[in-house]
């Protein structure tokens, strides 16, 4: 039985999620555990297909039967209560009102046939019980707050009349309209250019500070979260392989997969001199995940034991942990490769 920690607004314990397909059972999330404190930003970082969005969807109650299954034994405690046991009414209050999500593709998430202002108003009226006139005023104020020029005019426009960056700002306004305690951002800036990306992330940060919101920031690019995350969870093949503060991850990482991710961070200042290094090989098939360490087929430090058994998590203190056989007392000593220059550029 899991006991709740009152400092944590959210506690995810042994989350396992599968999809039942014609090809077999896709084990998308295979035992994820993390907690989220009030007002902090936790980044979940990992390559495409590692289970980041499925984790986010599970927290939003968006994994649906019959194909999707959150396995027995998983728990997601929100303020100490397991949301997986919520009834319909509790889900309605939680989604939007307590926890909101901003997806990468705003065009797909927004209603194309409804004026943007009305979409914000719906949340204000539904979750904050405002009158129509109050909601209209507040929606215009929020459009202004997320940095949309001419908010009064923009209020009456449809999503297709907005640029990608502006649509993403609208999504942020919709999410914050319910004053959520938790905001999940699932690759909110991936399709945007670097300048707009920075502006959007700053806006999220600003609104987070104002409302003391806890944020889960999901991305495949470690570079994106260097300046905004308090803690980072590195995910690979449905599990979190390393967890720590930004300094732990960038300066004293203890996992070869994190080393590979750091090495893959693009460096603007080195453009033309040093190309982005991608991680060689491909992640394992989640229809048939390996019994041992999931990184063993791509890891240059792989030992026999790595293929035979999943490594346990080693605790390095102050919330830093990693699951790698290199930390077994009988393993050879290996230091983190020297990525100092890279780390410094992200501090
Ligand atoms: N509805 C579904 N049916 C079957 N498999 C699914 C479904 N949704 C996700 N998956 C599988 O689960 C795994 C994890 O997917 P997920 O979307 O969480 O990856 P991700 O880490 O968010 O990747 P990306 O960075 O590309 O968004 C993938 O192998 C994906 O194909
Ligand atoms: S457990 Fe083995 S294969 Fe996995 S990351 Fe560590 S050294 Fe590499
Ligand atoms: Mg995703």
Give per-residue pLDDT as tens, 129-168. Answer: 899 999 999 999 999 989 999 999 999 999 999 998 899 9
Q: What separation in Å is there between the alpha carbon of 219 and the centre of ligand 2?
A: 23
- Determine the pLDDT at residue 341: 46
CATH architecture under which domain 8-98+180-345 falls: 3-Layer(aba) Sandwich (3.40)
Q: Where is average pLDDT lowest: 77-86, 185-194, 289-298?
A: 185-194
User: What's the whole-number mean pLDDT along residues 266-289?
Assistant: 73
Which residues, at least 6 apart from 93, have a Cβ–Cβ distance to it below 8 Å? none
- Determine the pLDDT at residue 277: 63
Confidence of residue 346 (pLDDT cuts 50, 70, 90): very low
Residue 303 has pLDDT above 90, yes or no: yes
Q: What is the DSSP string of 264-275?
A: TS--GGGTTTSP
Q: Where is average pLDDT lowest: 13-22, 191-200, 290-299?
A: 191-200
Q: What separation in Å is there between the alpha carbon of 296 and the centre of ligand 3?
A: 23
Which residues on neighbouring strands pair with residue 272, listed in sequence order? none
Residue 34 and residue 311: Cα distance in Å, rounded? Answer: 17
Residue 345 has pLDDT above 50, yes or no: no
Structure tokens at 175: 């999410």
Stronger pLDDT, 227 or 235, i.e. the higher one:
235
- Determine the pLDDT at residue 96: 72
Q: What percent of the chain has pLDDT over 90?
A: 73
- Determine the pLDDT at residue 129: 86
User: What's the whole-number mean pLDDT along residues 13-21?
Assistant: 98
Residue 70 has pLDDT above 70, yes or no: yes
Q: What separation in Å is there between the alpha carbon of 322 and the centre of ligand 2?
A: 10
- Determine the pLDDT at residue 344: 44
- Determine the pLDDT at residue 327: 97
Residue 343 has pLDDT above 70, yes or no: no
Quote the distance between the C-alpha of residue 232 and its chain's center: 10
Atom 11 of ligand 1, residue of closest alpha carbon = 28
Q: What separation in Å is there between the alpha carbon of 332 and the centre of ligand 2?
A: 12
C-alpha R_g of the chain:
21
Which residues, at least 6 apart from 52, have a Cβ–Cβ distance to it below 8 Å? 44, 45, 46, 186, 218, 220, 235
Measured from CB, residues less than 6 Å from any atom of ligand 2 are: 256-257, 293, 295-296, 299, 301-303, 306, 311, 324-326
Tell me if 292 sits within 8 A of 307, measured CB to CB.
Answer: yes
Atom 27 of ligand 1, residue of closest alpha carbon = 48
Please report the atom of ligand 1 found closest to the CA of residue 21: 4
Atom 8 of ligand 1, residue of closest alpha carbon = 54
- Determine the pLDDT at residue 269: 55
Q: Model's pTM, two decimal places?
A: 0.93
Atom 18 of ligand 1, residue of closest alpha carbon = 51
Residue 4 has pLDDT above 80, yes or no: no
Helices (H), the chain: 52-59, 88-94, 106-109, 116-127, 132-145, 151-154, 164-177, 194-211, 222-225, 246-251, 256-263, 304-308, 340-345
Confidence of residue 267 (pLDDT cuts 50, 70, 90): low
Nearest residue to 30 via CA among 50, 44, 48, 47: 50
Confidence of residue 188 (pLDDT cuts 50, 70, 90): confident
Mean pLDDT, all residues of the chain: 90
Q: What percent of the chain has pLDDT over 70?
A: 92
Residue 248 and residue 105: Cα distance in Å, rounded? Answer: 31
Q: What separation in Å is there between the alpha carbon of 284 and the centre of ligand 1?
A: 13
């Amino acid at each position: 039985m899991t006991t709740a920690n009152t400092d944590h607004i959210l506690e995810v314990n042994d989350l396992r999620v599968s999809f039942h397909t014609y090809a077999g059972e896709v084990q998308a999330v295979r035992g994820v555990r993390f907690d989220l404190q009030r007002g902090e930003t936790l980044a979940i970082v990992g390559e495409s297909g590692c289970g980041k969005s499925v984790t986010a969807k599970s927290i939003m109650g968006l994994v649906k039967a019959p194909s999707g299954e959150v396995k027995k034994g998983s728990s997601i405690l929100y303020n100490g209560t397991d949301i997986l046991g919520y009834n319909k009414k509790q889900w309605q209050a939680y989604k939007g009102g307590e926890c909101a999500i901003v997806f990468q593709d705003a065009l797909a998430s927004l209603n194309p046939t409804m004026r943007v202002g009305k979409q914000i108003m719906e949340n204000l009226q539904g979750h904050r019980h405002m009158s129509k006139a109050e909601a209209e005023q507040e929606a215009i104020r929020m459009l202004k707050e997320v940095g949309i020029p001419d908010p009064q005019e923009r209020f009456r426009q449809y999503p297709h009349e907005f640029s990608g960056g502006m649509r993403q700002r609208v999504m942020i306004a919709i999410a914050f309209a319910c004053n959520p305690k938790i905001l999940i951002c699932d690759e909110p800036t991936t399709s945007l250019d670097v300048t707009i990306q920075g502006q959007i992330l700053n806006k999220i940060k600003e609104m987070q500070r104002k409302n003391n919101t806890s944020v889960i920031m999901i991305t495949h690019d470690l570079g994106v979260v260097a300046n905004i995350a308090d803690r980072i969870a590195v995910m690979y093949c449905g599990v979190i392989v390393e967890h720590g503060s930004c300094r732990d991850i960038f300066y004293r990482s203890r996992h070869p997969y994190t080393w590979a991710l750091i090495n893959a961070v693009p460096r603007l200042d080195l453009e033309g001199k040093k190309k982005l290094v991608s991680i060689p090989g491909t992640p394992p098939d989640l229809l048939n995940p390996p019994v041992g360490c999931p990184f063993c087929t791509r890891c240059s430090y792989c030992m026999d034991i790595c293929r035979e058994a999943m490594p346990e998590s080693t605790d390095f203190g102050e919330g830093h942990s990693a699951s790698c056989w290199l930390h077994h007392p009988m393993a050879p000593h290996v230091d983190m490769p020297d990525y100092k220059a890279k780390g410094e550029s992200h501090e």
